[in-house]
Amino acid sequence: MVVEGYETDKNIEIWKVKKLIKGLDAARGNGTSMISLIMPPRDQVSRVAKMLGDEYGTASNIKSRVNRQSVLAAITSAQQRLKLYNRVPPNGLVLYTGTVVTDDGKEKKVTFDFEPFRPINASLYLCDNKFHTEALNELLESDDKFGFIIMDGNGTLYGTLSGNSREVVYKFSVDLPKKHGRGGQSALRFARLRMEKRHNYLRKAAELATHFFINPATNQPNVVGLILAGSADFKTELGKSEMFDQRLQAKIIKSVDVSYGGESGFNQAIEMSVEVLSEVKFVQEKKLLGKYFEEISQDTGKYVLGVQDTMAALEMGAVHTLIVWENLDVRRYELKNSATGETMVKYLNGGQEADQSNFVDEATCGELDVVDRVLLLEWFAENYQQYGCKLEFVTNRSQEGSQFCRGFGGIGGILRYPADVAAYDDEDDMLDDDVYEGLE
């Protein structure tokens, strides 16, 4: 459960960074009044504060009065925000500030500062007419850890790969007797000894795999996938052996033949596994949606789809896993009837937001005032834990993801138990069709 919670939180942080990058990339300013500042872990706040002071002095010499004032205002904003930090947070500090031009041509001051969800290694200070987000994109690169077992007749190596970082965890050598035709009456005894040593070798390799790739705190694998490699049939025997932990067997994503053992074999195995490693995110997505589609095809009643039914099931506490398309264009409106004072919640897409009839109460014809308006994805990210469910974001880039977006409205859930959550009205079906028009 700890691992699941961590994965959910990490996926939400990734989604938040993606959303921030999208907004930052779209922002533009006049002159060079937009500051991008990134401080890696163990950097000094005092160093950057001094640097900003020096930059302020330099910017005072800018000839254009308008640009000079904008740049000085941005530097001052960065200095003020930096005063909130006594030291650089453990994962570093990201700060964007400046004056941007809105869609209607007006100028607006913006400031974003946050600690990344994982350590950021970049160090950056730039004044430009745009924000620079290249370092943030690197945060989105997968940090999933994969396990490697390189096994041949000379020994076994255990390694891990996370992003671009590879690590040899442990390796040991073995001296196995070779096959031979001599021995006469002792041939059977030699064969038996050889098989016994081979069996012991497999047992040791399997036990060490459990030791290195199973987290004792959670009793679950500490890698998202496992690659078996080798130059003989040892890797195949290991993967099929009853001695090999079943929890690790379920994590095997590829078996590759390599020409070498040891570290050379490890490097070769990584090169030969690049494609499958990059697909792991989609494999996880396929597995999740496969389970969802299975509930639907078997008509277990333990599923829900569409905005209205999903929200109803969520309110009931029946949702175990909430599945949402990462680009779902639906907003949650909290509305208040100006005549009666009653409040209600509606879920509207872009097209429905433009339809004023959605802001009039059908029963009383009273006008509905907007109390709160928020992207439903953001609301989920902030509130899903209150409903005791897991939150999973999916793409539309896999076949299953595309089917989920087009056929099921891009929102649904796997339930804890069969529940009757009949749609309130036909509005839900209309919403789901409208949201995904133009997805081509």
DSSP 8-state code for residue 261: -
Domain 145-176+188-278 has CATH 3.30.565.10: no
Domain with CATH 3.30.960.10 in the chain: 2-139
Domain with CATH 3.30.420.60 in the chain: 145-176+188-278
User: What does the angle CA 296 – CA 301 – CA 307 come to, to the nearest 5 degrees?
Assistant: 75
Place of tokens 């539309």: 396
- DSSP letters, 29-72, are -STT-EEEEEE-TT--HHHHHHHHHHHHHHHTT-S-HHHHHHHH
Is CATH 3.30.960.10 what the domain over 2-139 is classified as, yes or no? yes
pTM: 0.63
- Alpha-carbon distance of 346 to 336, in angstroms, equals 11
As assigned by CATH, the class of the 285-435 domain is alpha beta
Rounded CA separation 201/172 (Å) = 11
What pLDDT does residue 421 have?
A: 76
Residue spans in the chain of domains classed CATH 3.30.1330.30: 285-435
Instruction: Tell me the two tokens of residue 67.
Output: 């640009």
- What is the per-residue pLDDT for 372? 92
Which residues fall within 8 angstroms of residue 388, CB to CB, at 6 or more apart?
317
Rg (the chain; Cα; Å): 29
CA distance 414 to 323: 8
Alpha carbons 191 and 413: distance in angstroms, whole number? 57
What's the pLDDT score for residue 183? 55
* Mean pLDDT by groups of 10 residues along the chain of 440 residues: 53 85 88 90 93 92 86 93 93 93 86 89 90 86 84 94 82 82 63 86 96 92 93 86 94 92 91 81 82 94 93 93 93 90 89 87 84 92 91 86 90 92 47 42
Task: Residue 223: name the closest of 144, 159, 328 by CA.
Answer: 144
Q: What is the pLDDT of residue 361?
A: 84
Quick one: pLDDT at residue 364?
80
